[in-house]
Homo-oligomer: A and B are copies of this chain.
């Protein structure tokens, strides 16, 4: 429910827009100063407000971070949904596409990555509502892998470990480079072999 609803009246729409502005400012702050540098004063400054004014729109700093978490997973899920609708028939090609998409999504925004994977943000615990998109995304991944011929339960867990490992290494040890990005095709082939996918022609 972070998107604007055209049926709302003017003041409600204005409120939504302001919440959006605050969220954007929070992302920019986190990108610049890291999660430990994300403070209400800095966010407010970027929006053009004073810190206490933020409380008219979010109940607390935690509520802001919570909204960021939900929005990030929703964003990934939207991307995966798009991908799902245009998946190639060849299982290996499809797998590679999914892998590259996720890898690119995470590595392009390291700060977002640390929030989504629950590392680095002090005492943050997502609310049930903001957790929902990440669950939806895992379901979608399960479906996607099944369509690629991965039916075993272990398939999903090994997939998340493999892709997550590649992205984390890329971000931590070669930020901005492609040392692990270059390994993605090979990693996917290795994974496909393990689950007995037919070789492409």
Contact = CB atoms under 8 A, between A and B. Distances in A.
- Of residues A34, A169, A189, which shows the largest number of chain B Cβ atoms within 10 Å of its Cβ? A169
A123 B35 CA distance: 10
Nearest to A162: B165
A183 B165 contact: no
A125 interface: no
A131 interface: no
Contact of A186 (B158, B165, B168, B180): B158
Interface stretch (A24-32, A52-60, A113-121): A113-121
B179 A169 contact: no
Contacts of A187: 158, 161
Nearest to A191: B190
A183 B158 contact: yes
Contacts of A39: none
Contacts of A36: 36, 122-123
Interface residues of A, number: 32
A193 interface: yes
A86 to B, nearest CB: 27
A5 B158 CA distance: 46
A154 interface: yes
A89 interface: no
Given A119-B120, A161-B166, 8 more contacts: A36-B36, A36-B123, A119-B119, A157-B169, A161-B169, A161-B183, A161-B187, A190-B190
Interface of A: 34, 36, 114, 117-120, 122-123, 154, 157-158, 160-166, 168-169, 172, 179-180, 183, 186-187, 189-191, 193-194
6 contacts: A36-B123, A161-B166, A161-B180, A164-B165, A186-B194, A189-B194
5 A-B pairs with the lowest CB-CB distances in the bound complex, closest first: A165-B165, A161-B165, A190-B194, A36-B122, A161-B166
